[in-house]
Structure 1
Amino acid sequence: MACTRPPSAPRNAISNVNETSVFLEWIPPADTGGRKDVSYYIACKKCNSHAGVCDECGGHVRYLPRQIGLKNTSVMMVDLLAHTNYTFEIEAVNGVSDLSPGARQYVSVNVTTNQAAPSPVTNVKKGKIAKNSISLSWQEPDRPNGIILEYEIKYFEKDQETSYTIIKSKETTITAEGLKPASVYVFQIRARTAAGYGVFSRRFEFETIPVSVAASSDQSQIPIIAVSVTVGVILLAVVIGFLLSGSCCECGCGRASSLCAVAHPSLIWRCGYSKAKQDPEEEKMHFHNGHIKLPGVRTYIDPHTYEDPNQAVHEFAKEIEASCITIERVIGAGEFGEVCSGRLKLPGKRELPVAIKTLKVGYTEKQRRDFLGEASIMGQFDHPNIIHLEGVVTKSKPVMIVTEYMENGSLDTFLKKNDGQFTVIQLVGMLRGIAAGMKYLSDMGYVHRDLAARNILINSNLVCKVSDFGLSRVLEDDPEAAYTTRGGKIPIRWTAPEAIAFRKFTSASDVWSYGIVMWEVVSYGERPYWEMTNQDVIKAVEEGYRLPSPMDCPAALYQLMLDCWQKERNSRPKFDEIVSMLDKLIRNPSSLKTLVNASSRVSNLLAEHGSLGSGAYRSVGEWLEAIKMGRYTEIFMENGYSSMDAVAQVTLEDLRRLGVTLVGHQKKIMNSLQEMKVQLVNGMVPL
């Protein structure tokens, strides 16, 4: 028997980065060494790009399903650090690898992780506890994944979770006041970075002291309190005399400030009064610009409700000096002017590549308001799958909106340019990012209304980010409420039937649009419903027609699309459910191997609804020329496909047998057949 040997290196390794998780996939080695016991080992190294040094990743990284002894050709690494360069080495081994004196045979992949929310706060300690207050302190999360901007503390009386309070603090200490004596309160804390909020910590329970204990403690304080009261009375008398003398600032009403404050409470701030002392680093907000903010329910403020739109812009968007921006080239045209790429260099910060939207010369005040309205909306969002606003230029011309730069541009154009170039896992990773961004918007009570692949931007790491908030509106606090438009254009092919019919938009209508985006992604930027007119689309959808599965689409993904296209909006999945479902698919790649046999479904439908050739094309050659596939006319004729009725039975396997091996050509032919099928019976074929 011939001697066996170690296997060669795995081939064609690819990566998919999702925040601080990386999915790797590869092809088995060309040479297994004459053995069948091949498995894989993953080496993880954290690299410093400046020093050129790599260290072992350490024990905090988790490998799913495992790091050593992998039998399948994929693995996911989670709990990596944010904004960090990693090198992963994938080595194939067998029973004699340890005996070989030769060098290791492996394939390496270099990736950079994205922004990520911080890990949970795990260590919370109680401080001073009184009958009406509890003081807490905690430690920074083990993995902050960036600079902690603030903490959010949620607390409520035990067994009364529906009525809770939110406190925000930039420090790692807070005091919750106004509590009931002898009551147990539950506290949860989460941290926020530029990437958004992490998850809440586990529940910590603390009890206020009873009134009797507090009273006995207070007895010992009576002498001190008596002295304090006496001094307070004296000081109060002095202050009142000082105020009545008119020495304080005049509140603009011609009377001494103390009287002015009574007559004009709204002017009290101008006279130097302040509300009850509150730590400036601690924020306990319930109102914002006249809007009641329900803690934990939503934080989005509709800029259209501001009397002065400029106030909204300056509240939610940072003003940037025009001198900090360098415009390099024009990369497109927007509704209000040109879109450029350039550089942003703020004092004390590193230079960044940015995208710059400019407002064209000669704008009206309404155009300026609408243009900056998008910045007022975008500036309120902070999530790795939402386009990030750097700031605005409003104090000089041209007026500009400055955002992060997305190297690969819009998702639909990018997919068309790279037709067939990505694995299913990479496509699912893109879809997962979009769903995560939409979950964030939905959690804020916010409806996009124009979700489509053209409004998704993609960067060099294939991270997708939701953009274009020009059509967006806020939902009311009632989860059943919907925004009703006052007319205007609606993107019919992406819009849910109830939104078209009744002009009502909800997160459920965004879910319908997300299903269309899924179809666009899996079909590499194909136009939904092809060349059907908008009226035909409306009628077909209303009668039960749904887009057929794209070619080579996993059955699990197409089923999710159909779920998103349920006619009854309450039957559609929520975005958090979609994210969870896609995560499961990514963790179990084998679940994506079952494909929808779209071509056989086409043939069955054609058999039910008549001949494909009726009224469409007079010959096979004419049809192939029309879709620029005329080179295959002779092959089709030679193999017996001489009529359109015969072509109707063509499957993907038939195309491969005929020698149509290019994926793009296969898709074009199969999609043309599907398009003609849609046009049968005026484009209305119920599925």
Structure 2
Amino acid sequence: MSLHHYLVSILDVENNKSEEVFVEKLNTSAAIGNLTSFRHYLLHLFSVAERGTLSCSEKPISAVTGIHPPLKVYAKLEDVREDSIVLQWEPPQDSHEVYIQIKAISDIREVRKLFVKDATRFKVDNLIPGMTYDIGMATVMNGNLSELVTIQQTLSLEAPSNIHEGKVTDSSIEILWNRADGNFQHYEITCINCAAAFMVQKVFQEAATFSNLDPATMYTFSIHTEKQGFQDSTPHIKEIQTAPSAIEFMNHSRNSNAVTVNWPLARSRLDGYIISISSNSFLKEE
């Protein structure tokens, strides 16, 4: 028999419908498209002679087509928070369930697995601020999964809390705050109105001290967490005032019924002075 071409017969088992595909004799493989997702097919291969005679039918190949994955998986910028993310996707036709897996890149051994039905968006909570996650999503049909569609997403950084003053003198301010959770590199503290330009410190502990400040002056500080290559956390603003300058020295003179004291002008702006006079028998302030 002189070979003219091959013929592939594809039977849709569920609907009992078949179609045929012509394959040139020089080919030894064929891709058969336009099939239904997750459907059982039987495939017969025939050799066809010059006069159209078919070879005997061999045992058919039984095959189940794969499952279409979600068409698109994404998260809007405004839905990426410090400890949560809202995922959205476009499901394939006739899909009612998806599988979601979430892995932090710092520990890929720990995989969080979720199954979500009849939805096109889902909020994932209890994540680590500033952490980068590999997120995979697959379509589920009869307990079977499609290929994963994967995206990578980094959560927002967490800002420090409970920012308050520590030790304050007439020339320095110590700032303290609670430790921020999450995956970040350091804190950045900026004194916005120190001297003629910004004064910036990058620290790893929950404390920073700014020196060489003016007495009795209100200073404004901005504090946030940083991670290289990613958006900083939302800054927190704190105002703290330095103490008035101390009196450097004081002189006095006296007579039988009075004491006169004098001192140099303070270096800072003041509302006034308080003079305290005490003895074993009384205490007086003016």
Band of TM-score, shorter chain: 0.3 to 0.5
Taking CA–CA contacts closer than 8 Å with sequence separation of 6 or more, which of the two structures ends up with the larger relative contact order?
2
TM-score (norm 1): 0.21
Structure ID, larger Rg:
2
TM-score (norm 2): 0.43
Greater fraction of residues in helix: 1
